[in-house]
Structure 1
Amino acid sequence: MKIRLKTTMAGPDGSFQPGQIVDFERGRAYALIEGGYAEQIGGEEPVSEPEVATLPQPKTAIIKTGKARR
């Protein structure tokens, strides 16, 4: 996925300057876009927000009984 960097970035893959267009794998590109460090440029489908699962609250809490350990 091609992205345009907003900040300087350096790592094992090299060093990159703001405004530079780079091609990263989708997961890494998505992380940089979500972090505000890059913006997506055309050519691929837009990055969408991941779905978040919600769980219902438990009906009862666990209550510890007995002596406390020292």
Structure 2
Amino acid sequence: YVDVEGRPGTEHLFLVNNQGTRYINCAGRPLTYFRDFANDVRDRTETAMTQTHCLTVCRLALEAQARAIRL
């Protein structure tokens, strides 16, 4: 919710890769992810993300937690 260059508002999207950084102003664009996710749970569909993606993310999070070193 913060633009380090100081643009007003909170609906900022930054796409960053090895080719550079791209800014997209998302003001006025609908946020559909959480609605789609809730529908996926209710309807057993894969609109927001695939089950494979979800399980992979969960596995990676558990592996990272298991390897973490408490400071």
Higher helix share: 2
TM-score (norm 1): 0.21
TM-score (norm 2): 0.21
